[in-house]
Amino acid sequence: MKGADAEARAAAHLTALGREIVARNYRIPGGEIDLITREPGGTLVFTEVRQRRTAHYGSAAQSVTPRKLALMHRAALAYLTRECGRDDLPCRLEVLTIDGPADTGTLHLIPLEP
């Protein structure tokens, strides 16, 4: 259940930043977006949540592979076209990492370049 705990903490953090939670765990075959939020200005933000309890196998950020980023991009595009009816809306991708326990670990937001 630690993944759900990390996602719950991430959602609370993003809400505290003034974002509205639009969707959780949006899935398509071969891809998923953990959280989709909308900023006050209307920009959609697609967030991958990664948590690592220990650094034994690297940090949470190091667990995000190029393949995962490609799948995330594909899922975001699918969301835009299927749920919004267009793919030219203002949006961006980011990774939210938690290093340590889901409830108390260090949290970082990492914006991804297009």
Q: What is the pLDDT along the chain (114 residues), one digit of tens a residue?
A: 468 899 999 999 999 999 999 999 999 998 899 999 999 999 999 999 999 988 778 888 888 999 999 999 999 999 999 999 998 999 999 999 999 999 999 999 999 876
Expressed as residue numbers, the domain containing 55 is 2-42+49-111
Residue 114: the pLDDT is 62
Q: CA-CA distance, 71 to 41, in Å (whole number)?
A: 26
* pLDDT given at position 80: 96
For residue 54, what pLDDT is reported?
A: 83
Please give the structure tokens belonging to residue 105. Answer: 């670990």
CATH number for the domain harbouring residue 64: 3.40.1350.10
Q: What is the pLDDT of residue 113?
A: 75
φ, ψ dihedrals at 27, nearest 5°: -120, 140
- What pLDDT does 47 receive? 97
pLDDT at residue 55, rounded to an integer: 77
Indicate the number of domains in the chain.
Answer: 1
pTM for the model: 0.93
